[in-house]
Amino acid sequence: MKVALLQQDIVWANPAANISLADTAIQKAGPCDLYVLPEMWSTGFATQPEGIAENDNSNSLRWMQDKANEMNAAIAGSIAVQDSHDLTYRNRFYFVRPGEQPVFYDKHHLFTYGGEHHRYTAGQERVVVEWRGVRFLLQVCYDLRFPIWARNCEDYDAAIYVASWPTPRVEAWRTLLKARAIENQCYILGVNRVGNDPACQYCGGTAFIDPYGQATECPDNEATHITAEIDMDRLHNFRLKFPVLKDRDR
């Protein structure tokens, strides 16, 4: 499976501009099976969602659906939304496959240090989605610091972390992505943004990491992309040869 990790600069609170940027980035990446955008890719990371969050049938989500159909590929990334049923705000990670209803995961570990928990409601369900023979665990930013939530119970092959992870803590981001790949014997797709918002500066660190912990990374401070291959035969053979997950704590 060919994947594209899209390290984007995000225009603050401007979904139309960010849709255009994402569209251009996908075209530059070329044909792939999966394209991954950062956390809150359509607005930037907004801890005060009033006037910024979109509804759960937004133009951004409709673009993801249309683009998935056009490219015959899956599109993934989180959006700040206000749920139409209970009016709660959610940091909602959508995984959109062509011709299907979106699957979504609501961020479980809200970033209390930045006040995200004051206005957003945490999700309580762990979500794994299958696409073209690969099982993906969906995770968002701060979830990366909590390994029990991401424990591989032999139910996924790759984990996707979409993030707005600031520059001062980027070495933690890089280290923990590798740790999650090694301890869960899986591929990791970590997509972080670049640029600035009203609160923080971001340098990227977007990376594709194989089950051995070997990383392919985007250059820092550039709106760019990397493409990489998820090799399921290689993963399967590694797990058979060195069955770490069989000895996990239960």
Positions marked active-site: 39, 107, 141
Integer Cα distance of 46 and 162 in angstroms:
15
Give buried/exposed letters for 173-202 (b at 16+ CB in 10 A, else e).
Answer: bbebbbebbbbbbbbbbbbbbbbebeebeb
DSSP string for residues in 183-197: HHTSEEEEEE-EEE-
- The answer to whether the beta carbons of residues 38 and 10 sit under 8 Å apart is yes
Residue matched to tokens 């600035």? 196
Task: Please name which of 105, 98, 181 lies closest in space to residue 138, comparing C-alpha atoms.
Answer: 105
- The answer to whether the beta carbons of residues 35 and 73 sit under 8 Å apart is yes
Q: How are beta strands 34-36 and 74-82 bridged, if at all? A: parallel
Cα 207–chain centre separation = 11
Residue matched to tokens 């394209």? 35
CB-based contacts of 243: which residues, under 8 Å, 6+ apart?
none
Residue matched to tokens 């490219």? 71
